[in-house]
Structure 1
Amino acid sequence: MTLKPLHELHQRRFGRNLGVGLLLVAFVVIIFGLTVVKVTNEDFTVPAVEELN
């Protein structure tokens, strides 16, 4: 049984999927970076939880 070469459609789809994957990784890195900067800021305080009575 011989393997067929990839069709041109598969090559285009792989390129598109790779691009979307890289954009997703970049978005996650940006959100993580913003979170780290916000949490390590000296002015950051955890909001106090009010008691419900």
Structure 2
Amino acid sequence: MAHAALAAAVLALGGEHPWVLALLLTWYGIAMLGFIAAIWVHHKRSVRRAEPSH
């Protein structure tokens, strides 16, 4: 969904407002990093839970 919104914004603005595109790309990058970090933390927690205890 975010990919489609970003592509639509880039096509709609067409380079008329570069600061808006920069802002959109910055927020998109932050959102993707947060998403990847959340997946990584979830994976780490599930792997730690699956290990046998001594």
TM-score range relative to shorter protein: 0.5 to 0.7
**RMSD (Å), alpha carbons:** 2.1
The normalised TM-score by structure 2 is 0.64
| Structure richer in helix, relative to its length | 2
* Number of residue-to-residue matches in the alignment: 41
- Larger Rg, first or second structure (1 or 2): 1
The normalised TM-score by structure 1 is 0.65
Unpaired stretches in structure 1, ≥5 consecutive residues:
45-53
User: In the TM superposition, what whole-angstrom CA distance separates every residue of 1:1-53 from its partner, at most 9, and x where no partner exists?
Assistant: xxxx4622111000000100110011101100000001111117xxxxxxxxx
2:36 alignment partner in structure 1: 26
Greater than 4 Å deviation, 4+ residue runs = none
1:36 to 41, 46, 53: 46
**More contact order relative to length (CA 8 Å, sep ≥ 6):** 2
